[in-house]
């Protein structure tokens, strides 16, 4: 990849996405589910650029959305309504209403109270809303606490017993059609066992619903497949699918999978330019033009991202913290990273930046968000222009008087 050329054409900081890599990941995962009916519902929050969503739409993907804004993006990018799922722990009445009107595949309900709201709104609209219920199987996904979602002490989903009551209620309602069951136990999963255990619990639940004549069609296994940021061992898509298949004996269900990071993380690069080197006592800092407002994961999760320097420098490597210009001590991309001596305008490539990168960005410190560029068949194309100062003040300026 010619990062120098991309930097000179599009300036820095810059996000670059390799769409061909995303295709390869998508095809590998879809292929793994061969032998059963399946829909890959791309988790839009991992990278919500319209051109990226459109790319997945063209591959036949559906979409998993966690706000009505994401649902609207999915429609705009050409994902068919019957492949769109709306998840999330707190949907507003307006969001529920619009999702029902748009006739998406189903709303993933996350509490008894929410089931009541969905029923009421469907009744007001005189329609029937397809739903699925997010079950919390209480399995430890063995990952970082901020990205685990399948334990009772966090906010996601409902317990098995509550879910059963909800299915019975939904089945008896004129306005609700329970079609699916859902679990999503966390993100960046690198162990197969918790996924298998969760699937087994949820599959048993499907059987117990069958025994009371509630027939579901969709078995939604969520997303969460981990990727390599550093030297993690990851789950092979084939093994993942086989583990899920093994829990579904005797059940004829369409599997819905909601991959996000798996499709996008390692397709993305964040390109940033060196501004200065500085030394505070024995500590070496490399100050770059990108910052935590562009890529938050290192600050938020202490996440590791590989950093590759592009420089003529042949100097010896030494430890440095790579930091941005934002006024926060937490504004860093790497700590104690081995780097050569760098010059003004040398480039650093931050790897694995395609998921939860741009989307978690902000305008903190009145910094415009980066441009985004997509690569396909070796060709680069701008897919979001860099935010200018005028963009940042547009919604405030009229109130100055
Ligand atoms: C975030 C999320 C996903 C995607 O998670 P990844 O770790 O990016 O695969 C899928 N489903 C739901 C419900 C989510 O909240």
> What pLDDT is recorded for position 145?
56
CB atoms within 10 A of CB 142: 13
Express each pLDDT in 323-343 by its tens digit.
Answer: 999 999 999 999 999 999 999
359, 15 in Cβ contact below 8 A? no
- Where are the strands (E) in 123-267, listed by range? 129-134, 176-182, 218-220, 254-257
**Per-residue pLDDT tens over the stretch 342-365:** 999 999 999 999 999 999 999 999
pLDDT, tens digit (0-9, with 9 covering 90-100), for 203-218? 999 999 999 999 999 9
pLDDT band at 151 (very low <50, low <70, confident <90, very high): low
How many residues appear in the chain? 401
CA atoms within 13 A on the CB side of 356: 17
Pocket test for ligand 1, best of 25, 62, 64, 91 (most atoms within 8 A of CB): 64
- Nearest Cα residue to 91 out of 80, 81, 100: 100
Strand partners, 269: 16
87-259: CATH, from 3.40.50.2000, 3.40.50.620, 3.20.20.10, 3.60.150.10: 3.20.20.10
Cα–Cα distance for residue pair 59/354, rounded to 1 Å:
18
Average pLDDT for 126-132: 98
In this predicted structure, the answer to whether residue 236 has a pLDDT above a threshold of 80 is: yes
Contact predicate 46/265, CB 8 Å: yes
pLDDT of residue 201: 97
Please check the confidence at residue 149 and state whether its pLDDT lies above 90: no
Question: Which protein residue has the closest C-alpha to ligand 1 atom 3?
Answer: 223
The pLDDT confidence band at residue 140, using thresholds 50, 70 and 90, is confident
Over its C-alpha atoms, the chain yields an Rg (Å, rounded) of 23
Find out whether the beta carbon of 88 lies less than 6 Å from any atom of ligand 1: no
Instruction: Flag whether pLDDT at 146 surpasses 70.
Output: no
Residue ranges of the domains in the chain?
A: 3-14+266-385, 87-259
The confidence score (pLDDT) of residue 101 equals: 98
340 contacts 315 by C-beta, under 8 angstroms:
yes
Mean pLDDT (whole number) for 103-126: 97
Measure 186 CA to ligand 1 centroid, in angstroms.
7
Question: Residue 46: CB within 6 Å of ligand 1?
Answer: yes
Instruction: Give the whole-angstrom CA distance, residue 144 versus residue 107.
Output: 27
pLDDT at 401: 81
Tokens of residue 148, six digits = 């685990």
Rounded Cα gap, residues 247 and 240, in angstroms:
12
Query: Mean pLDDT throughout 101-107?
Result: 98
Structure tokens at 394: 């547009």
Mutating to test ligand 1, I would choose from 46, 156, 158 the residue with most ligand atoms within 8 A of its C-beta, which is 46
Token pair, residue 70, equals 């994401």
Please tell me the distance from the alpha carbon of residue 254 to that of residue 219, in angstroms, as a whole number: 6
Task: Report in angstroms the alpha-carbon separations of 183 from 34, 211, 215, 291.
Answer: 21, 21, 17, 34
32-52, pLDDT tens digit by residue?
A: 999 999 999 999 999 999 999
Write down the mean pLDDT value for the chain.
96
Using the predicted structure, report yes or no on whether residue 76 has a pLDDT greater than 80. Answer: yes
Instruction: Return the pLDDT at 152.
Output: 65
State the pairing for strand pair 14-18/268-280: antiparallel
Q: How confident is the model at residue 144 (pLDDT cuts 50, 70, 90)?
A: low
Residue of 55, 45, 50 whose CA lies nearest to 21: 55
Question: What fold, for 3-14+266-385?
Answer: Lyase, Ornithine Decarboxylase; Chain A, domain 1 (2.40.37)
Confidence (pLDDT) at 155? 73
Q: Which two tokens stand for residue 55?
A: 């790319």
Q: Which residues contact 103 (CB under 8 A, 6 or more apart)?
A: 81
Residue 266 banded pLDDT, cuts 50, 70, 90: very high
pLDDT of 122 > 80? The answer is: yes
Cα atoms in the 13 Å half-sphere on the side-chain side of 279: 6
- Examine the residue annotation and report whether 327 is marked as an active-site residue of this protein: yes
DSSP secondary structure letter of residue 316: P
Percent of the chain with pLDDT over 90: 94
| Total-model pTM | 0.96
Residue 157's pLDDT band, with cuts at 50, 70 and 90, is confident
pLDDT of res. 150? 61
pLDDT interval class at 156 (50, 70, 90): confident
Average pLDDT in the 268-273 region?
98
């Amino acid at each position: 990849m010619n990062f120098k050329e991309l930097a000179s054409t599009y300036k820095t900081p810059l996000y670059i996405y390799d769409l061909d890599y995303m295709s390869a990941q998508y095809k590998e995962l879809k292929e793994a589910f061969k032998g059963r009916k399946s829909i890959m519902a791309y988790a839009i929050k991992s990278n919500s650029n319209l051109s990226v969503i459109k790319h997945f739409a063209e591959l036949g993907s559906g979409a998993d959305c966690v706000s009505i804004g994401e649902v609207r993006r999915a429609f705009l990018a050409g994902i068919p309504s019957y492949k769109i799922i709306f998840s999330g722990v707190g949907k507003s009445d307006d969001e529920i209403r619009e999702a029902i009107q748009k006739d998406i595949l189903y709303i993933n309900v996350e509490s008894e109270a929410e089931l009541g709201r969905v029923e009421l709104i469907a009744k007001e609209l005189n329609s029937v809303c397809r739903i699925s219920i997010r079950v919390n199987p209480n399995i430890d996904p063995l990952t970082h606490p901020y990205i685990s979602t399948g334990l009772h002490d966090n906010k996601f989903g409902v317990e098995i017993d509550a879910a059963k009551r909800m299915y019975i209620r939904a089945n008896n309602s004129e306005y609700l059609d329970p079609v699916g069951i859902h679990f999503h136990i966390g993100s960046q999963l690198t162990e197969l066992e918790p996924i298998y255990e969760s699937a087994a619990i949820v599959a048993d639940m499907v059987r117990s619903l069958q025994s009371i004549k509630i027939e579901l069609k969709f078995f939604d296994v969520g997303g969460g497949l981990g990727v390599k940021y550093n030297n993690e061992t990851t789950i092979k898509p084939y093994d993942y699918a086989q583990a899920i298949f093994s829990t579904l004996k005797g059940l004829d269900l369409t599997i819905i999978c909601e991959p996000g990071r798996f499709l996008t993380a390692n397709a993305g690069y964040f390109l940033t330019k060196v501004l200065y080197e500085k030394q505070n006592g024995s500590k070496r800092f490399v100050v770059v033009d990108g910052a935590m407002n562009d890529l938050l994961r290192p600050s938020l999760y202490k996440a590791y991202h590989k950093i590759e320097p592009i420089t003529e420098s042949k100097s010896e490597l030494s430890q440095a913290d790579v930091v941005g210009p934002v006024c926060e001590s937490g504004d860093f991309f790497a700590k104690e990273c081995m780097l050569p001596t760098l010059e003004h305008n040398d480039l650093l490539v931050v790897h694995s930046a395609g998921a939860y990168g741009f989307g978690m960005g902000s305008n903190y410190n009145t910094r415009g968000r980066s441009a985004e560029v997509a690569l396909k068949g070796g060709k680069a194309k701008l897919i979001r222009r860099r935010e200018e100062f005028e963009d940042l003040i547009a919604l405030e300026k009229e109130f100055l008087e």
